Amino acid sequence: MTRPIRFLTTLSFALATAIATGCVERTVTITTEPDNATVYLNDQEVGQTPVTVPFTWYGTYDVICRKDGFTTMQQAVKIDAPWYELPGIDLVSECLTPVTYRDHRAHHFVLEPEKLPTKDELLGRASEFRDKALSEGN
């Protein structure tokens, strides 16, 4: 094989490999009951439920859901890697296959209505604080 043919063959293979590489699209959808809660992933606001956002790494995410009139929900959510993202295999799945893998995860949270204290509970706490402040002042 002559040099120009070998060069063209190598160049053709490199271009074909570059064009045919695969990738992984990772998304997570957060839903709540009721809808329209503000969602934070690792202290970054990502939108109102239902919300779908991309993620780049597998592991544990801190999820916070807030909505007026409901107790704020905070939970650690673990997203495990699928088999094709295990070390070693990920090189083939992300770089050497002409397939796009789509990894979609979904998590649903039920928000509890906020329990407001009654008037008697508030007056009782205020009385306790007053008594404590007066006893510390002496």
Q: Read off the tokens for 40.
A: 């934070």
CATH code, residues 22-137: 2.60.40
Averaged pLDDT, 115-134: 88
Cα-flanking dihedrals φ and ψ of residue 57, to 5°? -135, 155
End-to-end CA distance of the chain: 100
Q: What's the pTM value of the predicted model, to 2 decimals?
A: 0.66
pLDDT band for 19, please (50, 70, 90 cuts). low
pLDDT tens digits, residue range 57-106? 889 999 999 999 999 999 999 999 888 777 877 667 666 667 777 889 99
pLDDT tens digits, residue range 31-47? 999 999 999 999 999 99
